[in-house]
């Protein structure tokens, strides 16, 4: 693939990079320490038209293509890993579910406020007993007249405690396995029985609340169902394919932040009467960190390219996410190493990058599950 961003794509990405340097980087440690949803920052992103990046303008989006959107998400994640998850879950998961599978009325009602940044979105698929094994979910949606009664709960839901719109997966036919799952839109403020049980105290990804949700006979009209009954599993897989491109973006952004910090530190830190950047060992570490980060970025754009062309991109998105997530953890690890003892303290952000990077290997398909996906495509 011969790839480089166009002048317009570069201009938008650079505008966001500047915003991140001025508005996000200075508060990133604060977000990490407080672990509170950065509502003001999200309002600023909405003002910049960044909360509905890939959606058409008729639904309040910015109409950005799938190279620019991940490039921008990379920049946001370079500033704060938590911010990267907030925006990725809001757009790539919740927003895309409604954009791809909703009716025009559902898009107008639920997607437009998400894309404008007036509402926050979440995507509720995982449960305590159903992570990698999605069909093991126990949440049910029973049809009663022209309503559904939703019963059960979800775990690990990014933005779950602050969301206005939550796309929820539940079994409409518990005997039918994959084909018995359907997807719905829930509105926590309107829907009696929607309970936020609490949020997780996590290693990293601070600022993005990861919530446990409970549904006690939540009764919703049929008009809240997305697409046909029984299509929820396919909706989830398709949405996660696209989502993996943006988790690759979050990974690349964090790797870039770790690399930038290591380059700066290695020029400042002197040992044996010279900056440590003069040691070839350190130079080679930096060279490897940069090479891996760039390779991950290209895999991300390769998957994006196939998505834009309407080609199948499940393998490429899995590869981009798998490789970029492992690179982000490796690069962040070397970043700490280059900082020596200081890297192991909260005096420098190197340890935050490491904590934030680790998550990339877990959500939206663990590395093990993604290797299964890639092998499955190869052997198909």
Ligand X SMILES: Cc1cc2nc3c(=O)[nH]c(=O)nc-3n(C[C@H](O)[C@H](O)[C@H](O)COP(=O)(O)OP(=O)(O)OC[C@H]3O[C@@H](n4cnc5c(N)ncnc54)[C@H](O)[C@@H]3O)c2cc1C
Q: Which is nearer to ligand X, 49 or 205 (CB)?
A: 205
d(CA 279, CA 243): 40
CB of 253 to ligand X, least distance (A): 16
Looking at the chain, list the stretches that DSSP marks H as alpha helix, in order from N- to C-terminal side: 7-19, 25-34, 39-47, 68-79, 81-88, 96-101, 104-106, 112-115, 232-268, 280-308, 314-339, 350-359, 367-379
Q: Which is nearer to ligand X, 195 or 362 (CB)?
A: 362
Which residue in the block uniquely carries the two structure tokens 């009209």? 221
Tokens encoding 192: 């009696």
- Residue at shortest CB range from ligand X: 131
Interface ranges with ligand X (CB under 6 A) = 89, 123-126, 131-132, 156-158, 202, 205, 210, 359, 362-364, 366, 368-369, 372
The reply to whether 364 belongs to the active site is yes
Q: Which is nearer to ligand X, 302 or 364 (CB)?
A: 364
- Smallest CA-to-CA distance from 199 within 163, 251, 149, 249 is with 163
CB of 127 to ligand X, least distance (A): 8
Q: Which is nearer to ligand X, 75 or 361 (CB)?
A: 361
Q: Which of 229, 364, 368, 377 is catalytic?
A: 364
Q: Which is nearer to ligand X, 97 or 282 (CB)?
A: 97
CB of 201 to ligand X, least distance (A): 11
- Smallest CA-to-CA distance from 165 within 95, 228, 231 is with 95
CB of 131 to ligand X, least distance (A): 2
Task: Specify the pairing of strand 181-186 against strand 225-226.
Answer: antiparallel
CB of 87 to ligand X, least distance (A): 12
d(CA 168, CA 189): 15
d(CA 123, CA 162): 12
d(CA 320, CA 1): 14
d(CA 71, CA 304): 10
Task: Output helix, strand, coil percentages for the chain, rounded to the nearest 5.
Answer: 55, 15, 25
CB of 124 to ligand X, least distance (A): 6
DSSP letter, residue 58: G
Q: Which is nearer to ligand X, 244 or 306 (CB)?
A: 244
Residues tagged active-site: 364
């Amino acid at each position: 693939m011969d790839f480089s961003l166009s002048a317009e794509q570069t201009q938008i990405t650079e505008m966001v990079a500047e915003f991140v340097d001025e508005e996000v980087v200075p508060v990133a440690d604060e977000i990490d320490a407080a672990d509170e949803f950065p509502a003001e920052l999200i309002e600023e992103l909405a003002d910049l038209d960044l909360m509905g990046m890939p959606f058409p303008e008729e639904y309040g989006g910015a109409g950005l293509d799938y190279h620019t959107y991940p490039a921008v998400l990379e920049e946001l994640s370079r500033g704060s890993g938590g911010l990267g998850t907030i925006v990725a879950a809001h757009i790539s998961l919740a927003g895309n579910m409604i954009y791809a599978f909703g009716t025009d009325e559902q898009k107008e009602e639920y997607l437009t406020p998400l894309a404008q940044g007036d509402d926050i979105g979440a995507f509720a698929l995982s449960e305590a007993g159903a992570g990698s094994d999605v069909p093991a979910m126990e949440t049910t949606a029973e049809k009663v007249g022209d309503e559904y009664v939703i019963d059960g709960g979800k775990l690990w839901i990014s933005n779950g405690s602050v969301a206005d719109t939550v796309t929820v997966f539940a079994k409409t036919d518990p005997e039918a396995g994959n084909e018995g799952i359907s997807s719905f839109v829930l509105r926590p403020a309107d829907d009696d029985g929607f309970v936020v049980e609490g949020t997780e105290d996590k290693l990293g990804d601070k600022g993005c609340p990861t919530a446990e949700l409970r549904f006690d006979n939540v009764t919703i009209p049929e008009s809240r169902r997305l697409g046909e009954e029984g299509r929820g599993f396919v909706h989830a897989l398709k949405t996660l394919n696209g989502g993996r491109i943006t988790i690759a973006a979050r990974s690349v952004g964090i790797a870039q932040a770790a690399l930038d910090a290591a380059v700066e530190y290695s020029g400042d830190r002197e040992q044996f009467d010279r900056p440590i950047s003069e040691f070839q060992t350190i130079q080679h570490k930096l060279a490897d960190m940069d090479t891996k980060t760039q390779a991950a970025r290209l895999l991300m754009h390769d998957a994006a390219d196939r998505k834009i062309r309407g080609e199948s991109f499940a393998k490429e998105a899995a590869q981009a996410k798998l490789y970029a997530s492992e690179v982000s953890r490796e690069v962040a690890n070397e970043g700490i190493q280059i900082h020596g003892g200081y890297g192991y303290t909260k005096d420098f952000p190197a340890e935050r990058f490491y904590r934030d990077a680790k998550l990339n290997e877990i959500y939206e398909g663990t590395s093990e599950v993604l290797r299964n996906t890639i092998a499955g495509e190869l052997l198909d």
